[in-house]
């Protein structure tokens, strides 16, 4: 090439473990949705970091280190059983921690849906050879899943409604002045 060679800027900071980076951060109790046994909650902390995913570079005695890449969220989770998990997210800088936690926890719901699609609706039974056939099969499986899910939600709504009606009826009949 022509001209002066590009100068590579060498970072003067070595990589740091996720748990070390979050040590001085405030941990907050966050609830992301209602489960079968009540609200699902855990303690979360989040900071913006630059991930070392750039080009490798030799830095002194530390050996090959990767250059800083794009900025992202480093999210830590302390579960009630003592387990600790760490996640990276590329959501915007102004994203609140509750939204970060919700996005992280949405993965479980997606995995459940995928498992049901495979086990109950035959998503993994396709044996054709064409791309359009695979798409058609996947579409039909997802339509069946959407129909079943709408029926499940409607049934759950009817149960809640009948429970509320029964409770209201019982409360009115046991009110003072009624015999």
Which two structure tokens, joined as six digits, stand for 143? 């339509």
CA 123 distance to own-chain centroid: 23
**HSE-CB for 125 with a 13 A CA cutoff:** 10
Kindly tell me if the per-residue pLDDT of 56 is higher than 60: yes
* 118-174: pLDDT as tens digits: 999 999 999 989 999 999 999 999 999 999 999 999 998 877 766 666 555 554 445
Rounded to two decimals, the pTM is 0.62
Instruction: Parse the chain into domains and list their residue ranges.
Output: 18-94, 123-168
Kindly tell me if the per-residue pLDDT of 48 is higher than 70: yes
Q: What is the pLDDT averaged over residues 78-96?
A: 93
DSSP symbols for 128-159: ---HHHHHHHHHHHHHHHHHHHHHHHHHHHHH
Work out the mean pLDDT of the chain and round it to a whole number: 82
Give residue 171's pLDDT.
Answer: 46
Query: Residue 67 in contact with residue 55, Cβ under 8 Å?
Result: yes
- Rounded to whole angstroms, the Cα distance separating 106 from 109 reads 5
């Amino acid at each position: 090439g022509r001209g002066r060679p590009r100068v590579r800027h060498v970072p003067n900071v070595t990589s740091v473990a996720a748990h070390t980076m979050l040590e001085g951060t405030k941990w907050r109790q966050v609830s992301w949705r209602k489960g079968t046994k009540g609200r699902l909650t855990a303690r979360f902390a989040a900071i913006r970091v630059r991930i070392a995913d750039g080009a490798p570079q030799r830095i002194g005695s530390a050996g090959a280190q990767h250059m800083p890449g794009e900025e992202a969220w480093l999210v830590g989770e302390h579960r009630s059983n003592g387990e600790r998990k760490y996640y990276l997210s590329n959501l915007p800088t102004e994203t609140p921690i509750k939204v970060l936690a919700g996005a992280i926890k949405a993965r479980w719901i997606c995995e459940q849906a995928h498992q049901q699609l495979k086990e109950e609706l035959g998503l993994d039974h396709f044996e054709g050879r064409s791309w359009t056939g695979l798409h058609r099969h996947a579409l039909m499986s997802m339509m069946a899943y959407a129909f079943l899910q709408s029926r499940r939600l409607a049934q759950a709504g009817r149960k809640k409604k009948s429970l509320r009606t029964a409770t209201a009826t019982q409360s009115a009949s046991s009110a003072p002045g009624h015999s």
